[in-house]
Chain A
Amino acid sequence: MIAQLRTKEPTTQAGTGGSAVTLRGIRKQFGSAAAAVEDLDLDVHPGEFLTLLGPSGCGKTTTLNMVAGFLTPDAGRILLDGQDVHQLPPDRRDTAMVFQQYALFPHLTVGQNVGYGLRMRKCPKAEIRERVADALGRVGLAGREDRLSSQLSGGQQQRVALARAIVVRPKVLLFDEPLSNLDLKLREQLRLEIKHLQRELGITSIFVTHDQTEALVMSDRIAVMRDGRIEQLGTPETIYREPVSAFVAGFVGQSNLIPGVCTEGGAGECTVRLATTDAVRAHQSGTIAAGDAVRVLLRPEALRLDTAAGGPSITGRVIDVVNEGNLATVVLVITESIQLRVSVSDPGAHSLPTPGDEATVFIPPGVARALPAD
């Protein structure tokens, strides 16, 4: 299947190749609680790296477990490569999962762990040895076959788990928050390694995380989930720049969400009177009509503290200045309930205000985005 290294297919050709994973009308409820997953539709393109992003309890892990076969949906269909699998047990589905807690078999060596799936598939011994060595090499653990997993660090254990999953050449790789148990440095490093490996092998991947940075860095597309539904599905760029709701905007990236009222609707753009200041022109997704309550998204890095930028402005009192060297964040109080964060890149070149100062923030044209108020 991937003996020859496929290059990643562009994610835009949705209609042509069909999808590697198809979820249709999936629903799952545990006991009498609210449904964990509700009427979920999703198409994962072949070779794509798709992330299910959301807070805990949003149904992302439940969805992943249904694709793997650990859970059976109450309703709906799951197709892998066009084949309906939702009645098949996990061992009859061509998926392989990388778990948050690594889940390596403690009584087996690294080599036996990685070769486990191949042994279950009754591969000849020589081929197993060869493929295990190859997989370990790909995750940077060449020659460690005879170690016990308990002798490895957390990062190495997760690499072994990754090798154990890719070695069977699954149709779909499933990642269940695989980096959450690792420290930041390792997490950042493994993000890139997983991404490179996935691209190199061209394996369709579904990645579950609550870490928005992880999602933005790794994904071809992100599905932001909330309360068992997909709130928005799109490229990281789209999710970041054109969130469809205050929830998505708040979950992905730093954001200021200022309440306001739309005074003039329109196609793609509207005018909003902010609770804090004069009217701004804002892009919109969906329909917003005059009189609607909205929240206006202003990303901290899009706002300016210098007058040269022009545009509508908001004045407030500085309460905090956090200087990280290459980036500073200025926090202002506008009204009692509204704070505004402004990022200043290369703060050394600018004079930053000090806490207690009055400061005016300018909203350059085109950066404001109106979102329906929840």
Chain B
Amino acid sequence: MRFHPWLLLRSVLLVLVLAFVAVPMIVVVWTSIQPDPYPAFPPSGLSLTWWDSALTREWLLPMALSAEIALGSALCALLVGSAAAYALARGPARGRAALEGFLASPLLLPEIVISLSVIQVISMLGARGLIGPTLLVVAHALIGIPFVLRTVGVSLLGVNPLWERAARDLGASAWRAFATVTLPLMRSGMFAGALFAFIVSFNNVELSLFLTTRDSNTLPIKLLQYMEYEYSPTLACVAVTSVLGICLITGVASRFVHLTEFIHGGTK
């Protein structure tokens, strides 16, 4: 085969890009399974010693709290986002773009600013007692909604309004026509959106920063606070655990729906 300089360049570029994406993950995984407090290169060996301190109440409780909050906020985002996506897809064209932009605006604002304004509003209302998991669920839903809006919107593009009309004609009430025709067809979009919403909530630091209390820390906040005082490969073990959890959910989910379809905004 003839040597082709462009082909080589392309391969090198590809490897570099993939490495760029993969390196942080590789470093974290490697850190979690070696014995040194400050990992060196070349590695001095393999060890699971840090995992003993990672899989303790200290870390598992925040992880569970984060998962609960993420689940709650994903459900809220799913409900509001799906309803909004349906309204945008089926409602009048006037003002559609404006409304869509408005609903996505929490993504444009620095989250730390949103966090600040939430705390301001709460203080003004004299309801600082609300600060904690419940408020986090609501606040995280805010940044989950744009994801649901997008993925459900994409799946609704493939749903011809005529189908619901045909269902009505055949005797289905408005609600049943929606439930038996449109809803099943937007299900994969809803699933993907909820998953994204879950992940952005689970990993969120900025929004949570002012909204957690000492005894209700989410995992990312706990990691942050821990790192302010000391460093230990335990953190890597905790990170790997949460990544594994999310991979597991994504893996199971993608067996039922085509998630990648929504990442490149694919059309059916």
Contact = CB atoms under 8 A, between A and B. Distances in A.
Contacts of A168: 170-171
Contacts of A90: 165, 168-169
Contact of B171 (A101, A104, A120): A120
A89 B168 CA distance: 8
Given A89-B174, A91-B171, A91-B172, A99 B184 contact: no
A106 B185 contact: yes
A148 to B, nearest CB: 14
Contacts of B170: 91, 96, 116-117, 120, 164-165, 168
Contact of A91 (B160, B162, B163, B168): B168
Contacts of A107: 181, 184-185
B123 interface: no
Nearest to A92: B171
Contacts, number: 60
A247 interface: no
B166 A103 contact: yes
Interface in B145-183: 160, 162-163, 165-174, 176-177, 180-181
A284 interface: no
A251 interface: no
Given A105-B181, A107-B185, A99 B171 contact: no
A312 B209 CA distance: 99
Contacts of A96: 169-170
Interface in A65-92: 68-70, 89-91
Nearest to A93: B169
Nearest to B158: A106
Tell me the interface secondary structure of chain B in the complex: helix
Interface residues of B, number: 19
B207 to A, nearest CB: 37
Contacts of A103: 160, 162-163, 165-166
Contacts of A116: 167, 170, 172, 180
B165 A91 contact: no
A206 to B, nearest CB: 13
A97 interface: yes
Contact of A95 (B169, B176, B180, B184): B169
A120 B170 CA distance: 7
Contacts of B185: 106-107
A91 B169 contact: yes
A121 interface: yes
Interface in A315-363: none
Contact of A99 (B166, B172, B174, B176): B166
Residue among B165, B166, B168, B176 having the largest count of chain A Cβ atoms under 10 Å: B166
Nearest to A90: B168
Nearest to A174: B169
A107 B174 CA distance: 19
B176 to A, nearest CB: 7
Interchain residue pairs A-B with the least CB separation, the first 3: A117-B170, A120-B171, A103-B166
Interface of A: 68-70, 89-91, 95-97, 99, 101, 103-107, 116-117, 120-121, 164-165, 168
Given A99-B162, A107-B185, A116-B172, 15 more contacts: A68-B169, A69-B169, A70-B169, A95-B169, A96-B170, A97-B166, A97-B169, A99-B166, A103-B166, A105-B166, A106-B163, A107-B181, A116-B167, A120-B171, A120-B176
6 contacts: A70-B165, A105-B163, A116-B167, A117-B170, A164-B170, A168-B170
